[in-house]
Structure 1
Amino acid sequence: MRWVVAKGWENKMVARINCRLPFPPSVKTMRDFRVMKKKPCQNGWMLRSRRIDYFVVFFALVFTLSGMGMNVAWGLESEELTLGNGLRLIMVREPKAPVVMTQVWYRVGGVDEVTGKTGLSHMLEHMMFQGTRDVPPGGYGRMIARHGGEENASTTWDFTDYWSKLSSDQLDLALKLESDRMHNLVLDAERFQSENNVVREERRSRFDSNPQGRFFEKFRHFFFQDHPYGRPVIGWMKDIEGYTVADLESWYRHHYTPDNAIVVIVGDVDFAQGKKLVEAYFGPIQPSAGKRGERLPQTQPIVGGRRLVERDPGVMAPSLHIAWPAPSYTFGDSTDVPALDVLATILGGGGSSRLYRHVVMEQQKAVMVQSRYSGMTLGMDSLDIDADPWDGFPVEDLEKAIVAEVADLREHLVTDEELQRAKNGLLAERIYDRDSVDHLASLIGQLSIIGLDWRHFVEGYPQMIQEVTAERIREVAVRHLGLDKAVVGILTP
């Protein structure tokens, strides 16, 4: 079963749907979610080597560079080109280990779908592993595994991406397989029906038969209203049941073309060889013959001051969700994004955050509380707070406590210590990205596929974060986190 990975708040909700335990405080982004490894529910969720790596890098750098301040120099060696058919290639050399991460990103996701055909992008993602004219069903994964590699894919509202991680001498294999399924996919009726049943069961287990999943879908639709971001990436069940092979064939031919894709290669890659292989395998593929419509931005403002309260006997304990509309790097005032990033970290980004220290540890009103914000979306984003109250504690009183903490950010300046700690944490996370070919490739790909200059945001991020001031944090809190702008969701037994 392949994950339906999406923006920050769905990442954690999907995982919590599968295991009714709170997330570790360190998990607050899509990247964190992707490196999680599920254990049996009684053991909770375990991060692989994320925590060890994080603290090794953090302490090695924080206390050796400029006292408590960080000066992060990336110095990435890269090469880019665009083929004649429109395919964009980004290569970054990172030769610390003889491995290479190969990713193909397509500009298609839930935001491109129409009413009645929701989830087509996710359905096609499943079918991309069901064989081509040259590779049998399941053959892609078996070939990657046979050479000691890993592979997977994800679909979001904004994009669909496919990746494999292999030893650097197997780059030829990775590119050959990806180019093959870009234009040789076989959409067989029997394979489609089998995989469609898999997707239906995925939807039933994660959403339809799960009260938290059902509520998540309702709340997201309630928040975004009629915008495509309010539709589930996996699609509504009625739409999934109504797909035809012709629907998928049309979607595939229209969106899976070189002029709608970006190939990202990060690791121990020789640029000349990488360019030669990409040109050989992807160069002959024809670009799209038709014209694509404009990808939909948020066209209407989110109406705040609304509440969604649901009762479901299937849940064991209440949960609280508060969301505010927020800008992203591509929508609204993008200059507010770095300050909101720091604000979200100070507010609910881990064990040293205000919400955790005050609401969980001191007041003991919640067993879990976290804030989330990304800024890396095609359209409007959101800043979200999730919380689970202590057993027997009224969820409405927990809401008041959280609202009071947010109000304090609007009224008072954060301390210098809080500000520097949040900056150090964010920069340490970005350093970890730099140290991992997986994370670096994903960061470059996601920034590029939504139309941003990846080098500017990757290499310029440390400076953007360091320039955030306490006054700037209060300013964006006043602008974006007013109580009248909040949308509240409460799920109770």
Structure 2
Amino acid sequence: MKKLLLSVLFSGLLLTLTAQEVSYEEYDLDNGLHVILHQDNSAPVVITSIMYHVGGKDRTEGRTGFAHLFEHLLFDGSKNIPTGGWDEIISTRGGQNNANTSQDRTYYYELFPSNNLELGLWLESERLLHPTISQEALDREIEVVKEERRLRYDNSPYGQLLPVLGETLFEKHPYKDPNIGYMEDLEQATLDDVRAYNKKYYVPNNAVLVVAGDIDMPETKKMVSDYFGPIPRGEEIVRNYPEETPITQQITKKTYDPNIQIPASLVAYRTPGFTERDYRVLDMISTYLSDGRSSKLYKKLVDEQKQALQISAFNIGQEDYGMYVIFGIPVGETPLQTLVTEIEEEIASLRIELISEKDYQKLLNKFENNFVNSNATVAGIAGSLATNYMLYGDTSLINKEIEIYRSITPEEIRDVAIKYLKPNQRAIIEYLPGEKMEN
């Protein structure tokens, strides 16, 4: 009966919404915490979430990976929650929780039956107000993160793709280093280091709290004030990351992965951050090139010419700079250079010709469908509200972002391809099996 009840409760998270406007209310507490509330009483479910404006790029040299380390540390416990008690409290109340860290932000959330709203707010206020950051906790979580790095990066097939892209496309900006950090930096992290990091970044004025679902607005506002209002404001955070010199000559690189047997080719470009309009145009280009079996690169290289096992274009969005990447795995003895040549042929076509009206309409249909799906659950809405406020600086994008995509023209697609996707602005990376040969 309990499992059935939970299934009914959380099925509300899967209810598809129409493309109607998402209503919300936002305001600031005196300590700088931004609060966004979304009321949806269609199912007895609530999400409490906090996004902190801190990610992998927020570090000093020799201290990489701290934001991801904190994602783990802040689940360890608090003054009022014993070690290991976080998950136990949530699961015994029928809830779910998780967190994730990017180069730009960290996001924590809890999903509960709505009668546990106050519990969710208390848990997040505990995380913010007085987490357990002891030497014992630090030592334990460093080992957990090191094992995660071994599993997901060092010993996983093609696990070094993102780190290699970062170190190839960036020389000065912190995006050159992996979000998870380097082993030696994790091992050298001290208790003073992490406590100073917590004091600097995990403060109300560097966060947005989103509460969404089956809530009563006045009651929720009072609980938010009670649990988060007394938390002291932190010092203002100043970011001044170095700018990268434009890439004007092709970068060629070979890298080796002992965990693979089939090589891969990467064609990569440094692109603008995701607040720029051109980022969204590049989104459309990547969808046009490789989203689905009828896309240009897939149809050509996989279906027709049988030259690739896999071909994918990714528009990797980040706050300061993006990465536009085309990844291909060849069939049999097909040379990697053949994939590069065929990829460039399709991109050159984008730089010269306008896409057809049929392809353009298909693109718009896909983006409209993605837009509706992104707001199809309470959890999706909460994540969108937090991201739009924190990283894009415009909460209202939850309702109007699709209008930006609809306004992008075939001519603009051509112009953006000309601006960013030229051979002299790219990196060609041969991702090869085996160990790197030492001289």
- TM-score by length of structure 2 reads 0.91
Q: Match of 2:209, as an amino acid?
A: V
How far is the alpha carbon of 1:296 from its aligned partner? 2.7
**Pair 1:237-2:183 in alignment:** yes
- The answer as to whether partners of 1:266 and 1:441 remain within 8 angstroms in 2 is yes
Query: Equivalents in 1 of 2:78, 2:294: separation in Å?
Result: 50
- Matching residue of 1:190: 136
Secondary structure class of the residue paired with 1:158: coil
**Pair 1:112-2:58 in alignment:** yes
Secondary structure class of the residue paired with 2:269: strand
Query: Equivalents in 2 of 1:360, 1:191: separation in Å?
Result: 49
How far is the alpha carbon of 1:424 from its aligned partner? 0.7
- Matching residue of 1:390: 331
Query: Equivalents in 1 of 2:409, 2:382: separation in Å?
Result: 30
Q: Match of 2:147, as an amino acid?
A: E
How far is the alpha carbon of 1:337 from its aligned partner? 3.0
Query: Equivalents in 2 of 1:368, 1:83: separation in Å?
Result: 49
Q: Match of 1:317, as an amino acid?
A: I
Secondary structure class of the residue paired with 1:123: helix
Query: Equivalents in 1 of 2:293, 2:220: separation in Å?
Result: 43
- The answer as to whether partners of 1:132 and 1:185 remain within 8 angstroms in 2 is yes
- Matching residue of 1:327: 272
- The answer as to whether partners of 2:281 and 2:416 remain within 8 angstroms in 1 is yes
Q: Match of 1:129, as an amino acid?
A: F
Query: Equivalents in 2 of 1:387, 1:378: separation in Å?
Result: 26
**Pair 1:348-2:293 in alignment:** no
- The answer as to whether partners of 2:133 and 2:195 remain within 8 angstroms in 1 is yes
Query: Equivalents in 1 of 2:309, 2:77: separation in Å?
Result: 46
1:327-381 CA-to-partner distances (Å, cap 9, x unmatched) read: 2343xxx232332222221111222211111111111111111112254x32011
Q: Evaluate the alpha carbon distance shift between residue 312 and residue 435 of structure 1 in structure 2; reply closer, same or farther with a 3 A threshold.
A: closer
- The answer as to whether partners of 2:170 and 2:244 remain within 8 angstroms in 1 is no
Unaligned runs of 5+ in 2: 1-10, 434-439
How far is the alpha carbon of 1:211 from its aligned partner? 5.9
**Of 450, 466, 469, the match for 2:406:** 466
Query: Equivalents in 1 of 2:103, 2:368: separation in Å?
Result: 27
Secondary structure class of the residue paired with 1:465: helix
How far is the alpha carbon of 1:488 from its aligned partner? 1.6
Q: Match of 1:367, as an amino acid?
A: L
Q: Evaluate the alpha carbon distance shift between residue 477 and residue 274 of structure 1 in structure 2; reply closer, same or farther with a 3 A threshold.
A: same
**Pair 1:418-2:352 in alignment:** no
**Of 400, 425, 430, the match for 1:490:** 430
Secondary structure class of the residue paired with 2:119: helix
Query: Equivalents in 1 of 2:321, 2:260: separation in Å?
Result: 30
**Pair 1:262-2:208 in alignment:** yes
- Matching residue of 1:276: 222
- Matching residue of 1:370: 312
- Matching residue of 1:203: 149
Query: Equivalents in 1 of 2:40, 2:170: separation in Å?
Result: 40
Q: Evaluate the alpha carbon distance shift between residue 127 and residue 370 of structure 1 in structure 2; reply closer, same or farther with a 3 A threshold.
A: same
**Of 76, 90, 93, the match for 2:36:** 90
**Pair 1:430-2:371 in alignment:** yes
In the TM superposition, what are the counterparts of 1:11-26 in structure 2 within 5 Å?
A: none
Query: Equivalents in 1 of 2:52, 2:116: separation in Å?
Result: 23
How far is the alpha carbon of 1:111 from its aligned partner? 1.5
Q: Match of 2:425, as an amino acid?
A: K
Q: Evaluate the alpha carbon distance shift between residue 149 and residue 487 of structure 1 in structure 2; reply closer, same or farther with a 3 A threshold.
A: same
- Matching residue of 1:46: none
Query: Equivalents in 1 of 2:248, 2:192: separation in Å?
Result: 38
- Matching residue of 1:77: 23
- Matching residue of 1:173: 119
**Of 318, 339, 361, the match for 2:263:** 318
How far is the alpha carbon of 1:131 from its aligned partner? 0.9
How far is the alpha carbon of 1:414 from its aligned partner? 0.6
How far is the alpha carbon of 1:176 from its aligned partner? 0.3
**Pair 1:445-2:386 in alignment:** yes
1:397-435 CA-to-partner distances (Å, cap 9, x unmatched) read: 111111111111111111111111111111101101111
How far is the alpha carbon of 1:215 from its aligned partner? 4.9
**Of 338, 346, 350, the match for 1:409:** 350
How far is the alpha carbon of 1:222 from its aligned partner? 1.3
Q: Match of 2:61, as an amino acid?
A: T
Secondary structure class of the residue paired with 1:89: strand
Query: Equivalents in 1 of 2:242, 2:217: separation in Å?
Result: 36
Query: Equivalents in 1 of 2:122, 2:297: separation in Å?
Result: 49
Query: Equivalents in 2 of 1:109, 1:322: separation in Å?
Result: 26
Query: Equivalents in 2 of 1:463, 1:219: separation in Å?
Result: 31
- The answer as to whether partners of 1:365 and 1:398 remain within 8 angstroms in 2 is yes
Provide the aligned C-alpha RMSD in A. Answer: 2.1
Query: Equivalents in 2 of 1:275, 1:357: separation in Å?
Result: 53
1:424-468 CA-to-partner distances (Å, cap 9, x unmatched) read: 11110110111112222212212222252021x222222211122
Secondary structure class of the residue paired with 2:320: coil
Query: Equivalents in 2 of 1:260, 1:207: separation in Å?
Result: 30
How far is the alpha carbon of 1:311 from its aligned partner? 3.8
Query: Equivalents in 2 of 1:295, 1:155: separation in Å?
Result: 21
- The answer as to whether partners of 1:83 and 1:279 remain within 8 angstroms in 2 is yes
Q: Evaluate the alpha carbon distance shift between residue 352 and residue 444 of structure 1 in structure 2; reply closer, same or farther with a 3 A threshold.
A: farther
Q: Evaluate the alpha carbon distance shift between residue 401 and residue 335 of structure 1 in structure 2; reply closer, same or farther with a 3 A threshold.
A: same
Q: Evaluate the alpha carbon distance shift between residue 340 and residue 209 of structure 1 in structure 2; reply closer, same or farther with a 3 A threshold.
A: closer
Q: Relative to structure 2, which stretch is displaced further, 388-397 or 151-160?
A: 388-397
**Of 85, 89, 98, the match for 1:152:** 98
Q: Evaluate the alpha carbon distance shift between residue 114 and residue 363 of structure 1 in structure 2; reply closer, same or farther with a 3 A threshold.
A: same
Tell me the percent identity: 32
1:164-196 CA-to-partner distances (Å, cap 9, x unmatched) read: 111122111111010011011111212221221
Secondary structure class of the residue paired with 2:24: strand
Query: Equivalents in 1 of 2:418, 2:211: separation in Å?
Result: 41
Query: Equivalents in 1 of 2:425, 2:20: separation in Å?
Result: 38
Secondary structure class of the residue paired with 1:336: helix
| Residues matched between the structures, number | 421
- The answer as to whether partners of 1:297 and 1:378 remain within 8 angstroms in 2 is no
Q: Match of 1:349, as an amino acid?
A: D
Q: Match of 1:411, as an amino acid?
A: I
- The answer as to whether partners of 2:247 and 2:426 remain within 8 angstroms in 1 is no
Q: Relative to structure 2, which stretch is displaced further, 242-251 or 344-353?
A: 344-353
Q: Evaluate the alpha carbon distance shift between residue 195 and residue 73 of structure 1 in structure 2; reply closer, same or farther with a 3 A threshold.
A: closer
Q: Relative to structure 2, which stretch is displaced further, 351-360 or 303-312?
A: 303-312
How far is the alpha carbon of 1:472 from its aligned partner? 1.4
- TM-score by length of structure 1 reads 0.81
